[in-house]
Amino acid sequence: MASIDRTAYPRFTRAVSARELTEVFTPSIGEVERARGKTQDDLYLLALLV
Protein backbone atom coordinates (compact mmCIF):
# COMPACT_ATOMS: atom_id res chain seq x y z
CA MET A 1 0.00 0.00 0.00
CA ALA A 2 1.25 3.49 -0.84
CA SER A 3 2.03 5.91 1.94
CA ILE A 4 -0.61 8.55 2.71
CA ASP A 5 1.63 11.29 1.23
CA ARG A 6 1.58 9.58 -2.16
CA THR A 7 -2.18 9.12 -2.46
CA ALA A 8 -4.84 11.34 -4.00
CA TYR A 9 -5.96 12.42 -0.51
CA PRO A 10 -2.88 13.43 1.46
CA ARG A 11 -3.28 14.61 5.01
CA PHE A 12 -2.19 18.14 5.72
CA THR A 13 0.14 18.59 8.65
CA ARG A 14 -1.45 21.67 10.23
CA ALA A 15 -4.47 23.93 10.09
CA VAL A 16 -4.25 27.21 8.20
CA SER A 17 -4.74 30.25 10.41
CA ALA A 18 -7.23 33.02 9.71
CA ARG A 19 -4.30 35.42 9.34
CA GLU A 20 -2.72 33.28 6.62
CA LEU A 21 -6.03 32.99 4.76
CA THR A 22 -6.49 36.76 4.91
CA GLU A 23 -2.98 37.43 3.61
CA VAL A 24 -3.30 34.98 0.73
CA PHE A 25 -6.90 35.49 -0.40
CA THR A 26 -7.60 39.20 0.16
CA PRO A 27 -7.33 40.97 -3.20
CA SER A 28 -4.79 43.78 -3.42
CA ILE A 29 -5.78 47.35 -4.27
CA GLY A 30 -4.36 46.86 -7.74
CA GLU A 31 -6.43 43.73 -8.31
CA VAL A 32 -9.61 45.50 -7.20
CA GLU A 33 -8.90 48.51 -9.43
CA ARG A 34 -8.24 46.28 -12.43
CA ALA A 35 -11.47 44.36 -11.79
CA ARG A 36 -13.42 47.64 -11.47
CA GLY A 37 -12.08 48.67 -14.88
CA LYS A 38 -13.34 45.44 -16.42
CA THR A 39 -16.83 45.44 -14.86
CA GLN A 40 -19.78 47.83 -14.55
CA ASP A 41 -21.75 46.18 -11.75
CA ASP A 42 -20.79 45.18 -8.20
CA LEU A 43 -22.12 41.67 -8.78
CA TYR A 44 -19.75 41.17 -11.71
CA LEU A 45 -16.93 42.76 -9.73
CA LEU A 46 -17.40 40.20 -6.99
CA ALA A 47 -17.57 37.35 -9.49
CA LEU A 48 -14.37 38.48 -11.21
CA LEU A 49 -12.49 38.85 -7.95
CA VAL A 50 -13.61 35.45 -6.72
4-8, 11-15, 31-35: which is most confident: 31-35
* pLDDT tier, 16 (very low <50, low <70, confident <90, very high otherwise): confident
Q: Give every CB contact of residue 23 below 8 A, 6+ residues apart in sequence.
A: none
Does residue 2 lie within any of the structural domains? no
Within a domain: 34: yes
Q: What is the pLDDT of residue 1?
A: 62
Residues 6+ apart with CB under 8 A from 45: 35, 36, 39
Contact 35, 45 (CB under 8 A): yes
Q: Give a yes or no: residue 17 inside a domain.
A: yes
- The answer to whether residue 27 sits within a structural domain is yes
Residue 16, in any domain of the structure: yes
Whether 4 is covered by a domain: the verdict is no
Task: Determine the 3-state secondary structure of 42 from DSSP.
Answer: helix
Domain count within the chain: 1
Let me know: does 22 contact 13? Beta carbons within 8 Å: no
What pTM was computed for the model? Answer: 0.61
Show the domain range for 21. Answer: 12-49
* 25-43 residue pLDDT tens: 999 999 999 999 999 999 9
